[in-house]
Chains A and B, each alone.
Chain A
Amino acid sequence: MMPRFWPMFRKEFIQMRRDHLTFAMMIGIPVIQLLVFGYAIQTDVRNLPTVVLDESRTPESRDIIQAFQNTGNFRIVAHVDGRPAVDRAIARGEAQAAIVVPYEYPRDLVRGRTATLQIIVDASDPLASQSAIAAAVAVAHARDLLILTRAAGRANLPLEARVRPRYNPGLRSPNYIVPGLVGVILTMTMVLITAMAIVRERERGTLEQLIVTPITKTELMLGKITPYVGVGLLQMTAVLILGRFVFDVPLTGNILLLYGVTLIFIIASLAFGLFVSTLVRTQQQAMQASFGFMLPNILLSGFMFPRQAMPEVAQWLGLMVPLTYFLKVVRGILLKGVGLEALWREVLILAGFAVVLIVASVRRFHKTLD
Chain B
Amino acid sequence: MSPSAVETHNLTRRFGAVTAVDALTLRIEQGEVFGLLGPNGSGKTTTIRMLCGLLEPSQGSALVAGIDVAVAPEQVKQRIGYMAQKVGLYEDLTVGENLDFYAGIYGFRRATARLAEVVAFLELAERLGQLAGQLSGGWKQRLALACALIHRPALLFLDEPTAGVDPAARRRFWHTIHDLAHAGTTVLVTTHYMDEAEQCARLAMMSRGHLIALGTPAEVAAQVGGRTLEDAFVILQERDER
Q: What is the bound-complex CA distance between A47 and B55, given in angstroms?
A: 66
14 CB < 8 A contacts A-B:
A4-B104, A7-B104, A10-B101, A10-B104, A14-B97, A18-B92, A205-B84, A209-B88, A212-B77, A213-B105, A213-B106, A214-B74, A214-B78, A370-B56
Contact of A206 among B55, B88, B100, B104 (CB under 8 A): B88
In the complex, what's the smallest C-beta–C-beta distance from A329 to chain B, in angstroms? 37
In the complex, B54 has a CB within 8 A of chain A: yes
Are A209 and B97 neighbours in the complex by a CB distance under 8 Å?
no
| Interfacial chain A residues near B93, Cβ < 8 Å | 11, 14-15, 18
Interface residues of A in 355-370 (CB under 8 A from B): 367-370
In the complex, A311 has a CB within 8 A of chain B: no
In the complex, what's the smallest C-beta–C-beta distance from B64 to chain A, in angstroms? 12
Contact pattern, B 41-83, Cβ under 8 Å of A = 1, otherwise 0: 0000000010011111000000000000000011001101010
In the complex, B90 has a CB within 8 A of chain A: yes
Are B105 and A368 neighbours in the complex by a CB distance under 8 Å?
no
Closest residue of chain A to B93 (Cβ to Cβ) is A14
Are B77 and A11 neighbours in the complex by a CB distance under 8 Å?
no
Are A368 and B56 neighbours in the complex by a CB distance under 8 Å?
yes
Q: What is the bound-complex CA distance between A229 and B93, given in angstroms?
A: 22
Closest residue of chain B to A207 (Cβ to Cβ) is B88
Contact of A8 among B49, B105, B107 (CB under 8 A): B105
| Interfacial chain A residues near B54, Cβ < 8 Å | 208, 211-212, 368-369
Interface residues of B in 104-126 (CB under 8 A from A): 104-107
Are B87 and A205 neighbours in the complex by a CB distance under 8 Å?
yes
Contact of A209 among B49, B82, B100 (CB under 8 A): B82
Contact flag A11-B90 (CB < 8 Å), given A212-B77, A213-B105, A369-B54? yes
| Interfacial chain A residues near B104, Cβ < 8 Å | 4, 6-8, 10
| Interfacial chain B residues near A8, Cβ < 8 Å | 104-105
> Can you name 20 extra interface pairs (CB under 8 A) apart from A7-B100, A8-B104, A213-B102?
A4-B104, A7-B101, A7-B105, A10-B101, A18-B93, A208-B84, A208-B88, A209-B84, A209-B88, A212-B80, A213-B105, A214-B74, A214-B77, A214-B78, A368-B54, A368-B55, A368-B56, A369-B49, A369-B55, A370-B55
Closest residue of chain A to B54 (Cβ to Cβ) is A369
Q: What is the bound-complex CA distance between A204 and B97, given in angstroms?
A: 17
| Interfacial chain A residues near B82, Cβ < 8 Å | 209, 212
Are A4 and B87 neighbours in the complex by a CB distance under 8 Å?
no
Q: What is the bound-complex CA distance between A19 and B93, given in angstroms?
A: 11
Interface residues of A in 210-225 (CB under 8 A from B): 210-215
Most chain A beta-carbon neighbours within 10 Å: one of B73, B78, B82, B88: B88
Contact flag A19-B105 (CB < 8 Å), given A205-B84, A208-B84, A213-B77? no
| Interfacial chain A residues near B239, Cβ < 8 Å | none
| Interfacial chain A residues near B86, Cβ < 8 Å | 205, 208
In the complex, B236 has a CB within 8 A of chain A: no
Question: Which A residues form the contact surface with B (CB < 8 A)?
Answer: 3-4, 6-8, 10-11, 14-15, 18-19, 204-215, 367-370
Contact flag A15-B90 (CB < 8 Å), given A4-B104, A10-B104, A212-B52? yes
In the complex, B212 has a CB within 8 A of chain A: no
In the complex, what's the smallest C-beta–C-beta distance from A361 to chain B, in angstroms? 19
Q: What is the bound-complex CA distance between A6 and B102, given in angstroms?
A: 12
| Interfacial chain A residues near B77, Cβ < 8 Å | 212-214
Contact of A19 among B89, B92, B97, B147 (CB under 8 A): B92
Are A11 and B92 neighbours in the complex by a CB distance under 8 Å?
no
| Interfacial chain A residues near B106, Cβ < 8 Å | 213-214
Q: What is the bound-complex CA distance between A8 and B56, given in angstroms?
A: 26
In the complex, what's the smallest C-beta–C-beta distance from A212 to chain B, in angstroms? 4
Contact flag A11-B74 (CB < 8 Å), given A18-B92, A206-B89? no
Are A205 and B101 neighbours in the complex by a CB distance under 8 Å?
no
Q: What is the bound-complex CA distance between A85 and B105, given in angstroms?
A: 78
| Interfacial chain B residues near A370, Cβ < 8 Å | 55-56
Closest residue of chain A to B87 (Cβ to Cβ) is A205
Q: What is the bound-complex CA distance between A210 and B101, given in angstroms?
A: 10
Closest residue of chain A to B102 (Cβ to Cβ) is A213
In the complex, what's the smallest C-beta–C-beta distance from A198 to chain B, in angstroms? 14
In the complex, what's the smallest C-beta–C-beta distance from A333 to chain B, in angstroms? 38
Closest residue of chain A to B98 (Cβ to Cβ) is A11
The 4 lowest CB-CB distance pairs between A and B, nearest first, are: A7-B104, A209-B88, A205-B86, A206-B88
Q: What is the bound-complex CA distance between A195 and B78, given in angstroms?
A: 28
| Interfacial chain A residues near B52, Cβ < 8 Å | 212
In the complex, what's the smallest C-beta–C-beta distance from A366 to chain B, in angstroms? 9
Q: What is the bound-complex CA distance between A205 and B101, given in angstroms?
A: 16
Q: What is the bound-complex CA distance between A8 and B54, given in angstroms?
A: 20
Contact flag A11-B101 (CB < 8 Å), given A206-B89, A212-B52? yes
Contact of B88 among A3, A6, A210 (CB under 8 A): A210
Contact flag A4-B53 (CB < 8 Å), given A11-B90, A15-B92? no
